[in-house]
Amino acid sequence: MSTQPLAIGADAPDFTLPSDTGKAVRLSDFRGKRVILYFYPKDDTTGCTTQACGFRDHYPKILERNAVVLGVSPDSAESHRKFKTKYDLPFVLLVDADHRVAQAYGAWSGPGMIRSHFVIDEKGVLADIQVHISPADSVDRAVKAVGG
């Protein structure tokens, strides 16, 4: 995977990661839908909970716009399951334990995950890129980018 900075209009780097259920999820499996791919540092921390619950609260509107949400952090599948259950999160959380995908998206710095989101269109092309964004702004901008 490339570590070059990504640009709107470029193809989103494809990947396969394990999900909170243990099932492998491939980004390209969502072609035909818009994807809000968001990177967050750690399950069940203040900012990450704010961001996840924001996407949860807007999820019906996101689905209406032919979009899905995929959350990515280095936490384990078990940690993700607990986080999803505690906050009733309706979307998939992915495990990026080796930071490979976060690095490809420019969402990793030496000490940890950089709060970011990427909106990917139905053809797999980057439509919105927000790196170093606050939890609330991430939700607002991502929902707006999918037409919400």
pLDDT digits (tens, 9 = 90+) for 90-136: 999 999 999 999 999 999 988 889 999 999 999 999 999 999 999 99
Active site residues: 48
Per DSSP, the three-state class of 72 is: strand
The pair of structure tokens assigned to 92 is 């998939």
Packed helices 77-87 and 46-64: angle between N→C axes, nearest 10 degrees: 70
| Residue 143, both tokens | 């929902």
Kindly report the pTM of this predicted structure.
Answer: 0.95
Structural domains in the chain, CATH included, are: 31-145 (3.40.30.10)
Question: Residue 4: what pLDDT?
Answer: 53
